[in-house]
Amino acid sequence: MFAVAAPQAPPAMVKALRLKLRKLSELPPSILLAGLIDLCYAARRANVDGIKRRSKDTEDDFSRLAHFIGRLGATRSSADTIVRAVIEVPALRKISDVRTVKAPEP
């Protein structure tokens, strides 16, 4: 006769990730883009790394999900950087146009 092991509870990180992904998949109709960006920004570090570890290659769903969350969160990060720069260098308030530039090829 074979012994059947009782199912184990998922680790705390998996539970936290499931909760955050549920929030992303069940967004209320009233949420603004800023709210979605804030959710992704909050998930960037540990949660995105956890998703990436489950990825088998760069084109699977885990990799694409991690990239999507990271890019949306980066929007908030970029805005925060500009605000911090203006606080530290008040002369930057006179800049009327902000452009992005591509990173150099490695």
Q: Which of 38-52, 70-84, 92-106 has the lowest mean pLDDT?
A: 38-52
Assigned domain for 25 exists: no
Return d(Cα 15, Cα 5) in angstroms, integer.
Answer: 21
Check residues 88 and 51 and name the one with the higher pLDDT: 88
Is 74 a domain residue?
Answer: yes
Give me the number of domains the chain comprises. Answer: 1
Q: Are 51 and 62 in contact (CB under 8 A)?
A: yes
Position 53 in a domain = yes
Q: Which domain holds residue 52?
A: 30-94
Residue 79 lies in a domain: yes
Alpha carbons 62 and 56: distance in angstroms, whole number: 8
**How far apart, in whole angstroms, are the C-alpha atoms of residue 81 and residue 26?**
30
Does residue 58 fall inside a structural domain? yes
* Model confidence pTM above 0.75: no
Residue 100 lies in a domain: no
Asked whether residue 63 is assigned to any structural domain, the reply reads: yes
The answer to whether residue 16 is domain-embedded is no
